[in-house]
Structure 1
Amino acid sequence: MAHAELPFELLLERYPAERGLPRHPLFQTLFGLQVIEGSGTLDLPGLQASTLEIDLHAAKFDLAMDVKIIRGQVKLRLEYRRALFRESSIARIGTVYLSVLEHLASAADTPIGELALLGAQEQSALQAWSVNAQAHETGNVLAVIEAQAKAHPERPALRVPHTGQVLDYGQLNARANALAQWLMAQGLTRDQRVGVCMERSQEMVLALLAIMKAGAAYVPMDPDHPPQRLRYSAVLGQLPEVSGCRIVDVATLSDIASADNPGLEIHPEQLAYVIYTSGSTGQPKGAANRHGSLYNRLAWMQAAWRRNVRPSVPACSDNRVPDSRRPGTTPRPRPEAPAAMPRPAHRSGWH
């Protein structure tokens, strides 16, 4: 240990951790290893000593593993908080640890990444769970919407209760086509990412469809998110001009004429959208999602739940697309911010 002589009080003073009686301020898990040579007992002239195991009624840490090696014999002790772990979970941890030790005893040069942490029974169970005989045909969501617009153009497709906005399939498809054609005329190409920072509205849905119709992928951004998160996604809080990114106010494009389907071939492996994680464990990470995966997920939900799939959660959530409601119902309105709070304009930007 390079800093073993550092006073513990000084470490706590400089380490920004909240202190409290229930938890240790620096760590919650502990692994201890003791190798005891000789008899392992205290030998004194005229005295006989033996080890006395004391039952503990309170755990010092969330999880602690104490390993003692005495004259070649290994003794393992696990201590845990009952409020966090079940006894069965602790027993499984012990079983996995022993399995790893047995494997290393016979093949000490095995890389850590190749160690089998599951027993034969658990591995068989996982393989059985992974067998999926059900398969869905390959397709893309845009083609399904376009087919519905052609077959039933006057059927209601989009209803936003808290704004009163209603679009049928014909209107939805035609307006999305118009915006897609405009984006393509501005130079938008396949697999480019387009940031969308908009409140829930019909304009937001049109923007998402248009971006995918143009062959690009959308990156949803919630206007309620702090500026630091929006800046991390390459679009600043109030969406000014930034280097390499063009900003478009969708509200200014409402007068563009309706158009036919762009007719671009959408490959199942083509990028559809990128969702950023919350960043609770570090910097937010972008998760890329393909058109084939999007179609497969929606097809499964339609078959499994026999419901219409309609969005009712924020666009920046990956559950936006597959969230479903019973036929004949409408999405729940998203609570609006107080009237005094300024709202960013409907804007999108792409690199």
Structure 2
Amino acid sequence: MFSGRLQDVAGVENMVGNFINTLPIRLSLAGKSVIELVRHADEELKELIQYEQSSLSLAQSCSSVKKDVPLFTAMLNYRHFEENSQAEGNGDIRDFGVEWLGTLDRTNYPFGLSIDDLGNEFSLNVQIDHSLSTEMIYSYMETALQGIVKGLHDSNYSDTLLLNIDIMSANERKTQLFEWNPETKPYPSESSIMELFEEHVRSTPNRIAVEFGNEVLTYGQLNALANQLAEYLLDQGIEPDTLVGLCLNRSIEMVVAMLGILKAGGAYVPVDPDYPVGRINHIFNDSGIKILLTTRSLAESLPVSNQLLVYMDTDSNNSLFGYRSTTDLSAKQRRVRPNHLAYVIYTSGSTGSPRGTC
């Protein structure tokens, strides 16, 4: 925010009115120390002063930002206060018959911060959207200001990068890391994800687990279908850490396929049907998958070679494994432990060939 009185307008000191104007400023924080950013901000503000009486609508029209998109959503108002030394007898406004009742700031921005520089201390006024905590934002700002002052005042911290300055106080960090997430909270670390899922199924079998379009499955129904697929995959030789291809569009069948592979002990390798053929072929060859779960329509455009195709279409899976047991696999059948692979996902390959990560 600018006062609108910094351009030496003739007679401005005798004009009554609010000349405050709001203009956008963009600062890059990456790779800059505290002192470097302070100097950069100072330069940018000095450059911007010459436009302090330019309207915000003019600034928007000069940008590539659409008219219905705000140029900024956070506002900073830095106010420098000086003692009144101009009034005769060092008086104050009451000497002129004016009674001070108070002030109230209001803006249309979801985030507003006013900093009053009182010479030897700061006063902060935070106004934010009701969905956020004013106290939390105030704490962040106070901690950040302390770090900035330390970086400017202490030569040992002059090279501190601005992005390395903490904004979270020690008390807030303690609350989030230890009070909200106690290390002693029990967790069944020796159970696999499928064992935990099946435990949840037993407690809430009739609750909705997955919904897609007009299709709905309860936890009990989803678990039963996944068990049938898992038993079929075990008969095809699936063992722990066996990679199984998964090429399906978003659907109920995709969820069933993922759970079925995990229940059988395998690790799924997701392949987006919209990937270029060359990328799909690389994933198939590099992963060495021998079984691919897909649909008949998708299979027509896939570069399959010697993979066993398991069609997840309703008519196909009913004939393949629809008659199999819907009960959970026994511990002897399962054999999978928490240290076994769950999935292998291939990177985009932007820096070379796509690589599988797990």
Q: TM-score, normalised by structure 1?
A: 0.46
Determine which structure has the larger strand proportion and give its number: 1
Question: Normalising by structure 2, what TM-score?
Answer: 0.45
